[in-house]
Copies of this chain bind each other. A is one copy, B any other.
Amino acid sequence: MSITRRAFLHRVARAGGAAAMFSAMQALGLAPAAEASTLPDLPADFGKGRKVVVVGGGIAGLVTAYELRKAGFAPIVLEAAKRPGGRNWSARNGTRVEFTDGIVQDCSWDEGHYMNMGPARIPSIHRNLLGYCEELGVALEVEINTSRSTFMQADVLNGGKPVEQRRVIHDTRGYIAELLSKAIDRHTLDDVLTAQDRERLRAFLKGFGDLSEGNIYTGTERGGFAVARGAGPVQEKYHKPLSLSELLAADLSKGEFYEEHIDWQATMFQPVGGMDRIPYAFAKSLGEIVKYGAPVTEIRNTSKGVRVSYGENGATRTIDADFCVCAMPASILKDVKSNFAPATKAAATAIPMTSLYKVGWQAPRFWEKESNIYGGISFLKQPVDLVWYPSDRLFSKSGIVIAGFNLEYLPNGQPTEFGALASTEARIAASRMAVEKLHPGHGKDLTKPIYISWARVPYIQGATAMTTLPEMLGYYTQLNKADGQVWFAGDWLSRIVGWQEGAILSAHRAVAGIAERVRAEGLKAA
């Protein structure tokens, strides 16, 4: 092969666009597999004289406008709410949370406290997002997603008393190691393991489960101490292992596997001061490009480009532009008037949304002082099934603890145990009860709850679009195509649904699509 890699990539790019080039780069081992941005490298005057309406000022919309401006386009972002960020929304002192059903909550937490009501974590594999944080000067700190000192609780385990996560994790491992070791000893896996592998696996399992003599699990230091280590003649004692039957009946697998989801693996970050530091940094950079309080009501392809109608102070206004990137949630898109093709409309209507909630409380940091819990998540088998401790301002006096982060409705529309609770008061009480279960006596220390119910947030009305369901593939594919001069963008049009990184990749793809269209028009005109 006589052509250089660079020349080869240029040919690929000419022939198939940025996405093809990226794939080729991956194939050559030049692009890391952790990111799949198709953002083209465009000259600063590439889009000169072309106007683009970006509908929605969430991360996808903000990134779209930010990148289009870099390439010389004239973007304008129409955001329905009075703030940027969409689901990237942090509650803090002064935040008003209004639901579509009229419920209003005003946050009055102490200065400096916040709850990231939407996204709250940035895994280190989300490189595009990390890149924007660096570019925009958003300071990051470690988000502690896992701490072995957090609790797990199930009524059928340990008499219902919470146990430290380290005990559940390591007792479970111990039993698994013992059982597999026994199966090997009984020669029941000889047909699938060589003698050497059996020997090595047995040795590995001894370490994996911290097994005692005879490859029996009898407890481990990894689970912590019933009698603590000290100086002098103190002899520490491990905890008596939890019962395997109880562990299995409790089924704490959600908590046990949580840290290993690819997007929840250490190392993770959060912006110092709240996740919304990211959209605010974009918004600051974009300045007047972003128009707030401007809900879009109609998007039409026209013979010359697009016409977008939106409300502003009660009046309806229209903008004509060359292109549109529609970065609204699927839940809102479906109700926007348009002259989209039937296939586009059908897709927009078909995609169901999840309905996540969170409840945050201000409280003194009893979890740090009394239980050595610094960040991380405790898991319970209760209507509110997790308690998430703050990673910010550790060792300070008080903090925001999130008691409850899960679905209110199942994909089939049935309410969850939490969602079935009749009133906001009952939900708040269930949240408090989860903390009380884990930290007896401290339920009463929780103050000033803020409850976010994403299905009821105006202009959002849902948490994540379920585009990864196998039956959604056709709709996902459809909306990943432009309809006339309109591109669609959002985390839900990527394979990282529910994450800002997905929104960014989707925005990049929309920008790439527009760039290709501009290039194609140029070729046609020439």
Contact = CB atoms under 8 A, between A and B. Distances in A.
B33 A267 contact: no
Interface in A195-240: 196-197, 200-201, 203-205, 207-208, 221-222, 224-236
B502 A231 contact: yes
B266 A376 contact: yes
A332 interface: no
Contact of A166 (B201, B265, B269): B265
A234 B201 CA distance: 37
A125 interface: yes
Interface stretch (A178-186, A280-288, A295-303, A402-410): A178-186
Interface in A166-202: 166, 169-170, 172, 176, 179-180, 182-183, 186, 188-189, 192-194, 196-197, 200-201
Q: How large is the interface on A (under 10, 10 to 19, 20 to 34, 35 or more residues)?
A: 35 or more
Given A230-B37, A232-B493, A480-B233, A124 B140 contact: no
A118 interface: no
A110 interface: no
A147 B267 CA distance: 5
Given A33-B224, A194-B245, A222-B260, A232 B19 contact: yes
Contacts of A93: none
A35 interface: yes
A314 B489 CA distance: 77
Interface string A477-506: 100100000000100011110000010011
Nearest to A236: B495
Nearest to A235: B495
A161 to B, nearest CB: 11
A189 B182 contact: yes
Given A244-B197, A267-B376, A125 B33 contact: no
Given A224-B262, A228-B34, A494-B231, A192 B182 contact: yes
Contact of A494 (B125, B204, B232): B232
Contacts of A176: 176, 180, 205, 208
A38 interface: yes
A222 B33 CA distance: 14
A104 B260 CA distance: 45
Interface in A24-53: 26, 32-38
A142 B144 contact: yes
Contacts of A234: 19, 36, 495
Given A36-B228, A194-B245, A253-B204, A266 B147 contact: yes
A222 B265 contact: yes
A396 to B, nearest CB: 10
A82 interface: no
A398 to B, nearest CB: 15
A493 B124 CA distance: 41
A249 interface: yes
Contact of A32 (B38, B222, B230, B370): B370
Contact of A222 (B189, B192, B262, B480): B262
A251 interface: yes
A144 B230 contact: no
A134 interface: yes
B375 A267 contact: yes
A374 interface: yes
A113 B172 CA distance: 41
Contacts of A494: 229-232
A372 interface: yes
A225 B261 contact: no
A265 B179 contact: no
A230 B38 contact: yes
A166 B495 CA distance: 20
A249 B203 CA distance: 11
A493 to B, nearest CB: 6
A12 B222 CA distance: 31
Given A186-B188, A224-B125, A505-B230, A134 B395 contact: yes
Interface of A: 19, 22, 26, 32-38, 124-125, 127, 130, 134, 140-142, 144, 146-149, 166, 169-170, 172, 176, 179-180, 182-183, 186, 188-189, 192-194, 196-197, 200-201, 203-205, 207-208, 221-222, 224-236, 244-245, 248-249, 251, 253, 256-257, 260-262, 265-267, 269, 370, 372-376, 391, 394-395, 477, 480, 489, 493-496, 502, 505-506, 508-509
6 contacts: A26-B228, A124-B372, A176-B180, A183-B188, A201-B248, A235-B495
Given A35-B228, A141-B141, A222-B261, 8 more contacts: A148-B266, A148-B267, A169-B260, A197-B245, A222-B265, A231-B493, A266-B266, A267-B376
